[in-house]
Amino acid sequence: MNEEIQQLRSITLTSGKIKDLAADCEILKIRGSVALHQELRLQKISTHGHSSFHSRVVAQVLNNTGSCMIKDFCDVTEMTNAGNLTMKNGQVQKINSTGKLTIEQKLQAEHFNATGFVKAKEIHAKHFQLKMSGRSEINQLFADEICVEKDKLSLSFLKKKLVCKRINGRTLELSNTDADVVQGDVVLIGDNCHIQTLYYKQNYTVSPNAQVQFIIRSESE
């Protein structure tokens, strides 16, 4: 009986523009080319193929292994991306991306973990970790703990580099990073970094294989 109820609450879509998804649907599976034009509140969304969400999305879990675009605000507890995911604005407790992730405006997250490619206008997180497979771009990055490095496991001829205007946090560990401004309490500038201005509160270290133009000690609060 429980299995029958679970089946009723799970819907698989393979094509079309959807405006009237059943209100009692809890699990949505997309296996083709699907566009959703209504606000969604679901337990789980699984996308494989080409999916686009044109209204607000609220879900406990969102798994993407295809090409997914979220054009409105998304509020997700746990998000995984192994394909190509683009979102406009979002609030995510935990995000794990191993593909290509694009944030057109702003993302707020507790835990951000990415291996691959990231392009974003603004990211706010508590814990941020990025292992790059190629060039990534983040205009503004704010997090308590930040770790940026190249992915040593990926065989790529692309230059593994993060390009930022501003990186701001408490404990920063950066390598292969170009930034205009880096600001933190404890800052480790590793190999292949080019930093215009570094602001630190407690201490900093700079690799011999990195370049920092200006180093300024910030006043403690």
**Torsion sign (Cα): 173, 78, 41, 117:** positive
- Please report the pLDDT score of residue 218 as a whole number: 86
Average pLDDT on 39-54 reads 96
Instruction: Delimit the domains of the chain by residue range.
Output: 1-97
Distance, CA of 190 to chain centre: 22
- Please report the pLDDT score of residue 180 as a whole number: 98
Taking only the tens place, the pLDDT of each residue in 101-144 is 999 999 999 999 999 999 999 999 999 999 999 999 999 999 99
- Please report the pLDDT score of residue 156 as a whole number: 63
In a 3-state reduction of DSSP, which class is residue 172? strand
Taking only the tens place, the pLDDT of each residue in 3-44 is 444 454 899 999 999 998 888 889 999 999 999 999 999 999
What's the start-to-end Cα distance of the chain, in Å? Answer: 61
Phi, psi of 2 (to 5 degrees): -60, -40
Taking only the tens place, the pLDDT of each residue in 148-201 is 998 877 766 668 999 999 999 999 999 999 999 999 999 999 999 999 999 999
Q: pTM score > 0.75 for this model?
A: yes
